[in-house]
Every structure is written in structure tokens, then in C-alpha cells.
Amino acid sequence: MKEGLAGMDQAFSQRHLDAVRQRIASIDRADFCRRLWRRDWTLWKEDDENRKSILDALGWLDLPDKMSGKLDELVEFTSRAKAAGFRHVVHMGMGGSSLAPLAFQKMFEPGENGLPMTVLDTTDPATILDIERSVPLARTLFIEASKSGTTVESRSFGEYFYHKVKEIKGEEAGDNFAVITDPGSMLDALARERRYRSVFLNFHDIGGRYSALSYFGLVPAALMGIDVREIMAGASNMMKLCGPDTAAGENPGVILGAMLGEMALQGRNKLTFLGPGCLTTLGMWLEQLIAESTGKEGKGIVPVPGEPVGLPEVYGEDRFFVRFHLETEPDEFLDRHVEGLEEAGHPVVTIGMKNRMDIGREFYRWEIATATAGAVLRINPFDQPNVQESKDFTHRLLKQVREEGRLVEGRMDMVEGPVRMYTAGGATTVSQAVSLFLGQAREGDHLVILAYLTENSRVVDGLQAVRVRLRDRLHMATTLEFGPRYLHSTGQLHKGGTDTGLFLLLTCDDAEDMDIPGQPYTFGSLRRAQALGDFEVLRRHRRRVLRIHLDGDAGAGLEVLRKVIENLPA
């Protein structure tokens, strides 16, 4: 049955439609919209332990109003940067400090008054070296973004490139740097000490994943020459539509959140995003927002971005599809596939966007929706109780490097060609190990590929081929996560959410490596420690995980893995 609610088209079965309508009515009876705008923390939890984390995280609600008076400042900052001779921007951050900028970078070309931008959010040495060799260091503006100011990855990026620019410009190196951080952070103090070009102090009561419409998202957007006034006009319009006086049944954010929460309770918790390729990174931003917000207390919505669309029969009964339709960029191929999904009875919601500039509207809509879904699931959508675990293990491993000069990799079970196997479960061949691992799959599970590999086109294509093959074989939702990015995105869901994940963790050798200034370890050692730390935390949570190391060329190793999967017995 098709129906439109608040500008969204839904194709639901009568049972699912009735459940969603009942959920919206329940939200309305609870006076959710007014209480949300009153910052009523009891919408989610009623204990004092959660009270502070909720109240300290609701500053995003009126961000379109708060940022409206700061947009001229951002445009002027861009003009001054261009006038000073800068020709490129490198934005350095992780998670909530990088995913909105990454969406802007991938969705938009630099405007007439803007600069080309590269987003750095990986400790992969090959990627960092490629940026160093491809940008004009003396004429590049480096933005270090971190709410706390102590994020190990962005701090390492900042120190590395500060010292590289200092080799060229001496004590004037600070002129090539700006920071986005919270007031009073260590990064704030460091930037002033080094006389950085600018310090953007964000609102302290906004969590990273809800910060897209703050300085964290808008500074890089403005530097690209994107019209931030138009972006924020769309966000302001959506804020009005989601305001306190709008009934739940007419509120586009609340309706979407009611769908997300109710469909998860109905077993449809694999939220699969479909849309044109230009919106892939919007899906990555949504992935962090939803996974980190809902994946806790053994609950969670599993976002599935970037999975190539398939025939209806390859999908299980745990799927819920959200399709983005760009009016200016129609996609007949996707239209036909979506029609097939609807005819097969899969629930599909279609969200229309006039053009890419509607991203501001969607940022705000989905923040409201995620907060609403959190209330439906009775979890606190503003904390991340399991994120620190992997960081702690990484710190222990890096301490080992400081004291012993090396990382202990753990016991290797077998070597077969370019593939080294860990936790092989007693298998004697790679094929047998993979078969035993996949044989643990249960109905409603999903497969997660955790790739500590260089994110280039050959590797991505190889991983997508593996992903699609496994989806079609097992009828399971699949996600592809590059480390260490996912530690700041879906890591919370992996440990705190439902135990439905099968985790395939891939590592590789580094052809080149480089030191991190002030540290006794390299970027390659940091990335390997992050992989091993997360591997151990997953095991401690009794998650089903298989680690594979690819010797030499990662692309060649992935081809071997793909052939192994293709030749597995049915």
C-alpha cells in the first residue's frame, strides 16, 4: 500500500502501515514535539546518570537559528584565504568532525569563490603520503577539527602537516592552519600558542554526530565555495516544519523517526539506503548518526549505505529501504529496482530532494528522526558507552610499542599464498576457515567487512565484489567499513547493539610508512594497533569475528578471497 506522509512516499504492507500509524499516535499522545523543544530529557531516560549526557547534547535543535548570524563570517574567511594565496584545503578530522565535510567534498564541485578540498580521516600511510605529495603544502590551508581537541588521529594529522609546513615556512607555519573545536580544549590553546590563522569555537552542547550544521560542517563547506546561506535556509525551513507546534502526524522528522523505531521493533532493523552515487557519502554520514545513536543496550538500527542494489529475492525479511530521489538527477535503473522491491512487499520510503543543496534539510530531518527513534527504542541517543573500549586497547598496544619497540600480532593459524589467517577455528585451509566463519550465520544477521586497507578504487571495487557475492549467497545485509573511520561511526553499534554481526576484519602491509612527530610510533603502527585493539574488543564481546591479513598487494589478496568465496560449496 502506498501512502504519502509529510512529503515522503511510503510503500508498506497494511500491517506495517497500521503499526507506524499507531506509533505516531502514541508519540502525539506523549506530547513528544513540545517536550523535545523543552529539552525534556525524560523522553529517553528517567535516571540521573543519563540526565546530564542528554541535556548536554541538545544544542543542535536550534542550530539553524544560532548559525544564521555567523554565515557572513564564514564567507569572509573563505575570501581572505583565497586572497592570501591558498589554493587547496585539507580538512583533518574523524567521525562527526569529518563525515559532513566528506559529504560536501564528494557531492559538490568547488564553487567559483571556493577552493578544492581533501578530507583526511584515515591513519593509512599511503593515503597521507598521497595527500602530502599532491597538494602544494605552502599554499594549502589545513583545518584540524576535533570537539575534544585530543582525538589521536586528527592530532597526529595536525602535528605531521604542521611540521611539514614548518620546514618550508618556519615560524610562520601557523598561518596555514585553522582549528574547529570546543571552547577551552587543548587544541584551542595550541592554536593560539602557534598563532594559527583562525580558531572556530563550536557550541559545547552538540555531540559530534549532530554537528553537521555547526562550524564542523559549515567551515569546510564555505571554503569549498558552497552557498552555505542556501544550505542553512533549507535547514531552517525543515526546523520550522519540525517545530514544537507541529503535530506528530505532520512533522517530517518525527514521522520518519517513528518509522525507523517501529520498523526496528517489527524486525526490520537493517536500514538500507538507495540513491544516486553522488549521495553515497550522505549515507555514510547517516550511518554514523544512526549507528552510534541507536546501537546500545543490545538494541540498534543497522544502517546499510553503499550496498549495490539487487533483485528483491536477495534481501531478507529484516530490510527497511529508504530511497533518495533527486529531481534534477533522475535514475531510471534505480526506479525499476525500487518498483520491484515494493511489488515484492519490502517496505520502502522515498524522500524527494529537489537538488543536492537540499542536504541541509536532510541533515536536520534525520537528526530529529534519530532522536525520535531513540525515544521509541527507549535508549539514550546522545551517548556512546562502548566507544572508549577500542581506544583503551589501542592505547595499551601503543604503550607496548613505546616500551618494547614492536606490536605483538597474536597467533597466526595458517598461511596460504598472500593470505594469513587468524582465529581460523581449527581450519586447515582458507576456504575451510571462511566456510566455518560464514556457517555461523543466523537468520536476521548481517555481515560487516572491517577493512584496514588503502581506500583506493581497486580495493573498493574488490571489497564491493566480495560484499555483493556474500549478500546474494547468504541473503544478509552487508556493510563495508574502512578503519579507523568506522571506530568513530559504527564501532558503538558493533559492541553495544544487537549480536547480529559477523565481522570480517582485514589488515595489510604498508609499502611506505612515516613517523608521527613527538611519538615513538608510525602511522602504520597506529593503524595496526587500532585494528588489533578493535579485534580484541569484538572478541571480548563474544562477537563472531575472523581476521585475515593480506600480504603484499592488497588488491591481489582480495582477488584470492573473492575466488575462495565464489568456490565455496552451496
The residues near 197 (Cβ < 8 Å, ≥ 6 apart) are: 81, 141, 174, 175, 176, 177, 178
The predicted structure's pLDDT at residue 153:
97
CATH code, 387-566: 3.40.50.10490
CATH class (in words) of the domain with range 63-233: alpha beta
The residue assigned the cell 544544542 is: 59
| Dist CA 28 CA 34 (whole Å) | 10
Examine residue 517 and say whether the peptide bond preceding it is cis (omega within 30 degrees of 0).
Answer: no
For residue 140, what is the enclosing H or E element? strand 140-145
The predicted structure's pLDDT at residue 399:
87
CATH of 2-57+242-377, one of 3.30.300.160, 3.40.1710.10, 3.40.50.10320, 3.40.50.10490: 3.40.50.10490
The predicted structure's pLDDT at residue 5:
63
| Dist CA 75 CA 81 (whole Å) | 10
Three-class DSSP category at 91 = strand
The predicted structure's pLDDT at residue 470:
95
* Contacts for 331-340: CB closer than 8 Å, 24+ residues apart: 331/275, 331/276, 334/274, 334/275, 334/276, 334/309, 337/274, 337/309, 337/310, 337/311, 338/274, 340/311, 340/312
The predicted structure's pLDDT at residue 116:
98
Whether the Cβ atoms of residue 253 and residue 238 lie closer than 8 Å to each other: yes
Domain ranges of the chain: 2-57+242-377, 63-233, 387-566
What predicted TM-score, i.e. pTM, was given to this entire model? 0.96
Instruction: For the chain, 570 residues long, give each residue's pLDDT as a single digit of tens.
Output: 455 666 788 899 999 999 999 999 999 999 999 999 999 999 999 998 899 999 999 999 999 999 999 999 999 999 999 999 999 999 999 999 999 999 999 999 999 999 999 999 999 999 999 999 999 999 999 999 999 999 999 999 999 999 999 999 999 999 999 999 999 999 999 999 999 999 999 999 999 999 999 999 999 999 999 999 999 999 999 999 999 999 999 999 999 999 999 999 999 999 999 999 999 999 999 999 999 999 999 999 999 999 999 999 999 999 999 999 999 999 999 999 999 999 999 999 999 999 999 999 999 999 999 999 999 999 999 999 988 888 888 888 888 888 887 787 877 788 888 888 887 778 889 999 999 999 999 999 999 999 999 999 999 999 999 999 999 999 999 999 999 999 999 999 999 999 999 999 999 999 999 999 999 999 999 999 999 999 999 999 999 999 999 988 888 889 989 999 988 876
Q: How many Cβ atoms are within 10 Å of 112's Cβ, its own excluded?
A: 5
The pairing of strands 8-11 and 117-120 is unpaired
Three-class DSSP category at 134 = helix
| Dist CA 305 CA 288 (whole Å) | 10
Three-class DSSP category at 132 = helix
> How does 300-336 read in b/e, with b if 16+ C-beta sit within 10 Å?
bbbbbbbbebeeeeebbebbbbbbbbbeeeebeebee
| Dist CA 228 CA 74 (whole Å) | 9
Residue 487 DSSP symbol: G
Same CATH fold, 387-566 and 63-233? Answer: yes
| Dist CA 508 CA 552 (whole Å) | 7
Whether the Cβ atoms of residue 273 and residue 286 lie closer than 8 Å to each other: yes
Whether the Cβ atoms of residue 68 and residue 237 lie closer than 8 Å to each other: no
CA 137 to chain centre: 28
The pairing of strands 419-422 and 414-416 is antiparallel
3-state secondary structure 507-535: EECCCCCCECCCCCCEHHHHHHHHHHHHH
What does the block give as the cell for 514? 612515516
DSSP per-residue codes, 264-327 = HHTT--EEEEE--GGGHHHHHHHHHHHHHHH--TT---EEE-SPPP--GGGS-TTEEEEEEEET
